[in-house]
Structure 1
């Protein structure tokens, strides 16, 4: 049985808060708390686990720890999902002047935290980053594919923030609380890369230093890395470029809708040219196939935190097709009305119809097809 965290009650407000977003990390939270207690001896600290309603009982496990150590806290989020937004909630839930963010899977080196804190205390810096890509750092046993994805995302991130940060994709860093509080309303809260979000949202260039660490193997559980991570990263970059006015889900929904046009044409063309089918039948088949592909792509990517599974897929598909069918009618009706008025021209009329149909499809399917994050 591993040693339990120090049970002494804190006698002063925390100087450092460690924010740990979790999902299905019930097997690691006790060990992480134990390691942090050892690493941060002599420092006034607290851990805030922000759990996205894990079905394995992660939040309940943290509550057990918190009953023995008041420095351990948990925020259990119901109906919300996402690493970046979890980090933001955790960072706003503490009075500590210094905030650290790290994963709950024991892959980040907790022994680096005292050095990060001392560096922020002693130097005029805003943020200290645990870096895998400076001398002395490393990515451990990552596969070549994962390393290539990380390098690609890193190059894009460096261009976005216009800073010589070697590891903008790091999920391990420490920041002054006032830096986060000054830019929190500009954070997108999208995806997994909260560090990049903070750098790109700050009004002034952040003063930073990178300290090396080697990424460790997982202690327990499964890796959360998947193809959708890169998709969410690209969405977050898009959100930062165009601003917060347009919801990021609508951006994703619209991009997939654009892909649906190519699917539609790819189905319609062989029906007309190779099979000799009639246009009306071909158009109907192509429309249904495009709607179906859009549904599954949105279920996988746009609404991955609300992903429908099993029998719910059939109901979701039916509501999606019905909503998009009405949206298509609205598209045609609006476009035809504007065209007949004679002021807009065919292009603007068609564009207005497309926009109305897209907004309708997005709004209705958000209410009836995907309702809330799933817990499994």
Structure 2
């Protein structure tokens, strides 16, 4: 018996016959770390000011411990525009924003904080500017006419002014507020910069502007910086350190990796510590040379590891048992580097073709490059 199955439909025709839903026009990338009480008020405000705009929000969470992800998950159950990207073992606003933007497909992307200090009412105007004008980037600025920093004290205002002045040293465009963390960008403009970005620290706008393959066409719109709604500020002395590292990377990056510079600086501190401890052990404690040398080497190596873990590899910082395992691998790596150092120096010196100081420098250079290269992929490997 013949069965009428109807006309055959090619797979492509079936796809075309579906009711397709267009993707969002605008993605908001919002980095979070312990911002639970700010999430719901922020989403409510975004829903109000972005009415009529197809938008989504990607919260990039650096492993919050206060239930931030649970709150995002609760809200997403009834609002499909909300997503969460959970990062483990990584930290930093700049790298969080980059990962959030890369996880989106919208033609326009905005970056803003979760603490409600940025004025969400400015977002529609930012989008209108990007659509109507030949611009790559629109920045929410505190330092153009009509903008402001609220009730900052003199110390914080002075630090912001100094950071702004330093930031302009590496920028390719004129901008009043390069330290702003509130901006909207075209995707193609972001793509031109992302492969050269350092992803260090908290100042992504400076990184982006300094990394673009051609000058960014930008416009600044004023807004008043507000008080944090809930939670605690992430600003501390370490944020300032990471900002200086970012600037150094933008200046030195084309010539030498800034991590290697930091690694070498820590190594120099280790040499001073080694000689100091060796001298105290020999001349004050009156220990044997072998015991004094071993003690000095051990303490200097532990100090070097701790400083590199805190400063050089702050974005890959090891904690708990990982700290102890990292110390062991670092010691093994440096042991091989020490052998290479001595071997190269001895060979050059014994060949009589090099003076003692040149042989010593060559050996130290070989050891430093080995220690840096191998510890980067063994001790502080990327997660």
TM superposition score category, shorter chain reference: 0.7 to 0.9
1:129 equivalenced with 2:139 (yes/no): yes
Partner of 2:50: 40
Q: Where in structure 2 are the equivalents of 1:74-93 lying within 5 Å?
A: 74-93=84-103
Structure 2 contact 60–84 (Cα < 8 Å) conserved: yes
Structure 2 contact 31–61 (Cα < 8 Å) conserved: yes
Q: 1:150 to 1:277 in 2, by over 3 A?
A: farther
Q: 1:168 to 1:348 in 2, by over 3 A?
A: farther
CA distance in 2 between counterparts of 1:110 and 1:344 reads 66
1:24 equivalenced with 2:31 (yes/no): no
Q: 1:215 to 1:269 in 2, by over 3 A?
A: farther
For the residue of structure 2 that corresponds to 1:186, the secondary structure is coil
- Render the CA deviation track for 1:151-170: whole Å, top value 9, x for unaligned: 22211111111433121111
Q: Identify the range of structure 1 (186-195 vs 138-147) with the bigger mean alpha-carbon deviation.
A: 138-147
TM-superposed deviation, 1:60: 3.8
Root mean square deviation, CA, Å: 3.0
Q: Where in structure 2 are the equivalents of 1:94-173 lying within 5 Å?
A: 94-173=104-183
TM-superposed deviation, 1:113: 1.0
Q: 1:59 to 1:176 in 2, by over 3 A?
A: same
TM-superposed deviation, 1:80: 3.6
CA distance in 1 between counterparts of 2:191 and 2:324 reads 44
Q: TM-score, normalised by structure 2?
A: 0.83
Task: Give 1 or 2 for the bigger CA radius of gyration.
Answer: 2
Q: Among 348, 356, 361, which residue is 2:371 paired with?
A: 361
Structure 1 contact 188–244 (Cα < 8 Å) conserved: no
Structure 1: unaligned runs, 5 residues or longer: 1-9
TM-superposed deviation, 1:275: 7.4
Q: 1:139 to 1:281 in 2, by over 3 A?
A: farther
- Render the CA deviation track for 1:42-75: whole Å, top value 9, x for unaligned: 2221111122333334334323322211221222
CA distance in 2 between counterparts of 1:125 and 1:312 reads 46
1:196 equivalenced with 2:206 (yes/no): yes
TM-superposed deviation, 1:322: 4.6
Structure 1 contact 105–220 (Cα < 8 Å) conserved: yes
Partner of 1:183: 193
- Render the CA deviation track for 1:113-156: whole Å, top value 9, x for unaligned: 11212222222222111122223323334444433332222111
CA distance in 2 between counterparts of 1:269 and 1:209 reads 60
TM-superposed deviation, 1:180: 0.7
Partner of 1:6: none
- Render the CA deviation track for 1:194-225: whole Å, top value 9, x for unaligned: 11111111222222222222222222222211
Q: Identify the range of structure 1 (303-312 vs 211-220) with the bigger mean alpha-carbon deviation.
A: 303-312
For the residue of structure 2 that corresponds to 1:351, the secondary structure is helix
Q: TM-score, normalised by structure 1?
A: 0.84
CA distance in 2 between counterparts of 1:316 and 1:205 reads 41
Q: Identify the range of structure 1 (333-342 vs 140-149) with the bigger mean alpha-carbon deviation.
A: 140-149
CA distance in 2 between counterparts of 1:342 and 1:232 reads 45
Q: Among 225, 242, 247, which residue is 1:237 paired with?
A: 247
CA distance in 2 between counterparts of 1:326 and 1:349 reads 18
1:73 equivalenced with 2:83 (yes/no): yes
Q: Name the count of aligned residue pairs.
A: 364
Q: Among 288, 292, 297, which residue is 1:287 paired with?
A: 297
CA distance in 2 between counterparts of 1:370 and 1:201 reads 25
